[in-house]
Amino acid sequence: MTDSSEPQFLSGVIEGFYGPPWTPAERHQLWDWMVRSGLNTYFYGPKDDLHQRAIWRQSYDESGLMEVREAVAGCRQRGLRLIYACSPGLDVTYSDPADMAAIQGRLIQLLDDGVNDFCILLDDIPDAMRPVDLARWGSLAAAQAAWVNEVYAWSRARTQGRFLICPTPYCARMVAARHGGEGYLEILGQGLHPDIDVFWTGPEIISETLDLDPIARLTEILRRPPLIWDNLFANDYDGRRFFCGPYAGRPLELKQAVRGILLNPNTEFSLNFVPIHSFGTYLAADRAWDSRASFLEGLKAWWPRFATVGAPLSFDDLVTFADCFYLPYQEGPEADALALAIACCLSSPRPPVDPESLAVRARMLRLKDFCARLVDLKDRGLFHAFHRRVWELREELDLIDRWWSHQIDPARAGTPFESDFHRPKTYRGGFVVRVQSFLKPRPDGSMEWTSMNLNPGPASAI
């Protein structure tokens, strides 16, 4: 285990999402990927571990401890740092000695099993204070700084490991909304021990870019460089998508401006191969780095996992497919170009049998066929990770293809188009889809009311 007496840029992967934690086998595979990519830190904090958050005061039973011991041993074997995170913020009373004793008891149990590095997560919690804490400290930031300092001092007497926190407002938008109270970061930065690392996600929870000037201003406020919790590839907030594109939107100079960067990636473990590979090439780069090149290189290394029981899949088709699930704020260039071409064909007065339209249709059908053929993957875990999201893409492409057939069939000229396989309510149906039509996001992030859909649906039985 790496000793934190040596200043070290933390680089690695966070298991901190909402959803089923990764299996022990997946974690071992992760640690091997991390070593191959030159990363050094595994962060354990899955929200689904009840002892990590909901029942943080209760000790692990023997089976829970075995999982921690296996993680410690697996990381130590590979020279990786393991950071254990605990999330007491939902119901902690900062002035209650019993809660201080509870967190110390949790850390003792982990220290005894080889954990040396810790994080206190105070994110995703209400910023209301208990009256007793407000009377003593006057602000949430002051209460948290004092409480975390005491935990840090207690742990530092027993281990020289790194100690981290995630503050209650952890992005610029939260700070602007005064989440945590006025002057939260200034108070926290002044009160918190300088050796404690502070997480930050950037301008947003999921930040498209991380620019240097805001990081420099934040460093002054916190009185230390931040540690980046990077949600670029996180998908636990959107079950319809995943992100297998490159690490992007971060200048190389960012590495000199922060104490480290840890990725919080896709919930589905097997979909993180390319992001971790690309992140590793970013970290290794010195003066020049091409995010797209790192993506294609990672995709090439991932391609053998796409072996099927039938004819091999095309790498070019894999690129187009992966471009459909690229990054939160953009599709990859191949998918973007295909979407624009389809849109032009659908809205063009040209007949859909002209050569350009037929070429676009052929490209679309290759992508549809690729999605359909994923069912034949030998790696069933990879297929299961894809399945529900890819099914949606395949169905949309199938619907467009049926429209195309309708348009070029003289026998159906002038008749309305419908698809027997895409019926109302069973296709794009459900309550969520219905209410999604009510508010339309504008490009600036504001919303407008667009729907007068007052159809009550089936009569209520109540």
Other beta carbons within 10 Å of 337? 15
Spatial CB neighbours of 240, under 8 Å, sequence gap ≥ 6: 389, 392
Residue with tokens 């460093």: 219
Phi-psi region of 439 (alpha: psi -120 to 50; beta: other; left: phi over 0): beta
CA 314 to chain centre: 28
Interatomic CA distance for residues 80 and 42, integer angstroms:
7
124: annotated active-site residue: yes
CA angle 320, 324, 325 (to 5 degrees): 125
* Residue 287 C-beta-side C-alpha neighbours within 13 Å: 0
Catalytic position from the list 96, 113, 124, 376: 124
Strand partners, 262: 12, 229
In angstroms, how far is the first alpha carbon of the chain from the final one? Answer: 60
**The pair of three-digit structure tokens given for residue 221, joined into one six-digit string:** 């406020």
Q: How far apart are CA 89 and CA 87, in angstroms?
A: 6
Q: How far apart are CA 382 and CA 390, in angstroms?
A: 12
Residue in the structure block whose two tokens are 């992030």: 445
What's the CA gap between 233 and 109, in Å, rounded? 32
Angle at 229 between CA 227 and CA 170, to 5 degrees: 85
Active site residues: 124
